């Protein structure tokens, strides 16, 4: 076996490598998965024990010799290709295509930035949720229509029924279960609803939901927080109004409108000549929700709010069709390239 190794060492040294084809032939023959070096290592087990140490050393030297030659000629061939490559210095330079963030990413990042300036941290959670985090802990009664197949995408996981989350409120439940107040967090993410796709609706969209829990939190705190957000997002002249509404997990609840920035609240076809545009829902966290998440409602109060990123992006960029956000039409996306 020693004589055969010496013979192979001579073959490696004498092997002529002139181009990439012969380089590859060399690699396959000596170092490939079925090459001679691999076969020799496989046959090492049949060598007598007293000779294995020496044979192993010789084989390692052989392998290193082959690898060294392979790398040396690889570098030589690469440098030859570079030196022989002809460069036309008179040719005009090609413009580099500049990419852009997706408009939803731009708005999502701006929302996060606005709330981070007043102490909100980002929380994330799974998109496939169980009934407790998506419905029951949020005070949804068993007969609530949102549990129906018409609104929710259900998934069977073994014997346990799961669902694609219908809101990022499920993340807030996880935060409340695993944190001690004060809690100040926002939960951005993708959500799913079993709806027909149209210019105004989609089966998936993006939300940012906020939660603040502490002692003596009031509805006035909620209103001032949302007014601050509206002015930061839509400009200093922005105003908000709150209309009574209903959500299972907040009481009292409200819908929030912002003054139309397109017509300066004077009335246009976008705001249906009302001067106002709906942007989000909000309310004080229901005591039942706090209790379900292990927080004493006698000690703590809090508020929650949720907005659709697509809705805010529509108002900010004046986009009339929701489907444009998910169709990856380059003509649409190029409008958000910096400098365009």
77 & 177 share domain: no
213 & 331 share domain: yes
What distance in Å separates the CA atoms of residue 49 and residue 314, rounded to the nearest whole number? 77
In the predicted structure, residue 3 carries a pLDDT above the cut 80: no
Which tops the pLDDT comparison, 186 or 35?
186
| Phi, psi angles (nearest 5°) of residue 243 | -115, 135
In the predicted structure, residue 334 carries a pLDDT above the cut 80: yes
167 & 241 share domain: yes
Which of 64, 327, 117 is CA-nearest to residue 225?
117
58 & 169 share domain: no
As a whole number, mean pLDDT of residues 52-81 equals: 80
Q: Residue 86: inside a domain, yes or no?
A: no
Give the rounded distance of the alpha carbon of 270 from its chain centre: 31
190 & 221 share domain: yes
Q: According to the model, what pLDDT value does residue 104 have?
A: 92
In the predicted structure, residue 183 carries a pLDDT above the cut 60: yes
- List, as one string, the DSSP characters of 226-266: HHHHHHHHH-TT--EEEEEEEETTEEEEEEEEEE-TTTTTS
Comparing 134-138, 146-150, 162-166, 213-217, the range with the smallest average pLDDT is 146-150
In the predicted structure, residue 138 carries a pLDDT above the cut 60: yes
- Determine if residue 253 is left, alpha or beta; phi over 0 gives left, psi from -120 to 50 gives alpha, anything else beta: beta
Q: According to the model, what pLDDT value does residue 149 have?
A: 57
263 & 133 share domain: yes
Kindly report the average pLDDT of the chain as a whole number.
86
- List, as one string, the DSSP characters of 280-333: EEEEEEPHHHHHHTT--TTT-EEEEEEEEHHHHHHHHHT---GGGGTS--HHHH
Enumerate the H helices of 85-187 as residue ranges: 103-116, 131-134, 169-178
Which tops the pLDDT comparison, 150 or 221?
221
* 187-202 tens-digit pLDDT: 999 999 888 888 777 8
42 & 184 share domain: no
Q: According to the model, what pLDDT value does residue 150 have?
A: 58
In the predicted structure, residue 74 carries a pLDDT above the cut 90: no
Q: According to the model, what pLDDT value does residue 218 have?
A: 96
As a whole number, mean pLDDT of residues 75-87 equals: 68
| Phi, psi angles (nearest 5°) of residue 171 | -70, -40
What distance in Å separates the CA atoms of residue 149 and residue 55, rounded to the nearest whole number? 70
304 with 283: CB under 8 angstroms?
yes
164 & 309 share domain: yes
- Spell 245-263 as b/e; 16+ CB within 10 A means b: eebbbbeebbbbbbbbbee
167 & 252 share domain: yes
- Spell 132-169 as b/e; 16+ CB within 10 A means b: ebbbebbbbeeeeebbeeeebbeeeeeeeebbbbbbbb
In the predicted structure, residue 304 carries a pLDDT above the cut 60: yes
Query: How many residues are recorded in the chain?
Result: 340
277 with 315: CB under 8 angstroms?
yes
Q: Token pair for residue 48?
A: 């007598």
Q: According to the model, what pLDDT value does residue 37 have?
A: 79
Q: According to the model, what pLDDT value does residue 330 have?
A: 84
Q: pLDDT category, 84, cuts 50, 70, 90? A: low
Q: pLDDT category, 250, cuts 50, 70, 90? A: very high
Which tops the pLDDT comparison, 199 or 71?
71
pTM flag (> 0.85): no
Which tops the pLDDT comparison, 54 or 306?
306
| Percent of the chain scoring above 90 in pLDDT | 41
* 101-128 tens-digit pLDDT: 889 999 999 999 999 999 999 999 999 9
69 & 200 share domain: no
185 & 135 share domain: yes
Q: According to the model, what pLDDT value does residue 328 have?
A: 84
The domain in which residue 308 lies consists of 103-336
């Amino acid at each position: 076996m020693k004589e055969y190794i010496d013979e192979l060492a001579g073959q490696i040294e004498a092997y002529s490598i002139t181009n990439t084809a012969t380089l590859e032939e060399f690699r396959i023959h000596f170092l490939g998965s079925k090459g001679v070096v691999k076969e020799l290592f496989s046959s090492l087990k049949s060598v007598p024990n007293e000779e294995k140490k020496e044979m192993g050393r010789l084989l390692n030297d052989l392998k290193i010799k082959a690898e060294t030659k392979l790398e040396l000629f690889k570098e030589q061939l690469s440098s030859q290709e570079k030196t022989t490559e002809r460069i036309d210095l008179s040719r005009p330079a090609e413009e580099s295509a500049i990419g852009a963030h997706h408009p939803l990413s731009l708005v999502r990042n701006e929302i996060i930035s606005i709330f981070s300036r007043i102490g909100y941290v980002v929380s994330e959670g799974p998109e496939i949720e169980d009934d407790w985090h998506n419905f029951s802990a949020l005070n949804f009664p068993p007969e609530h229509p949102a549990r129906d197949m018409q609104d929710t995408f259900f998934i069977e996981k073994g014997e346990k029924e799961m669902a694609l989350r219908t809101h990022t409120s499920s993340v807030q439940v996880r935060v409340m279960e695993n944190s001690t107040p004060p809690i100040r967090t926002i939960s951005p993410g993708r959500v799913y609803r079993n709806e027909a796709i149209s210019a105004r609706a989609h089966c998936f969209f993006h939300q940012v939901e906020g939660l603040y829990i502490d002692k003596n939190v009031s509805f006035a705190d909620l209103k001032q927080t949302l007014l601050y957000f509206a002015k930061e997002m839509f400009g200093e002249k922005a105003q908000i109004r709150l209309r009574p509404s209903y959500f299972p997990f907040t009481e009292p609840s409200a819908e929030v409108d912002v003054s139309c920035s397109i017509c300066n609240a004077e009335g246009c076809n976008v705001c249906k000549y009302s001067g106002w545009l709906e942007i989000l829902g909000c309310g004080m966290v229901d005591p039942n929700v706090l209790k379900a998440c292990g927080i004493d409602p006698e000690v703590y109060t809090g508020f929650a709010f949720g907005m659709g990123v697509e809705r805010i992006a529509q108002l900010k960029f004046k986009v009339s069709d929701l489907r444009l956000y998910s169709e990856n039409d380059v003509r649409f996306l190029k409008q958000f390239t910096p400098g365009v």
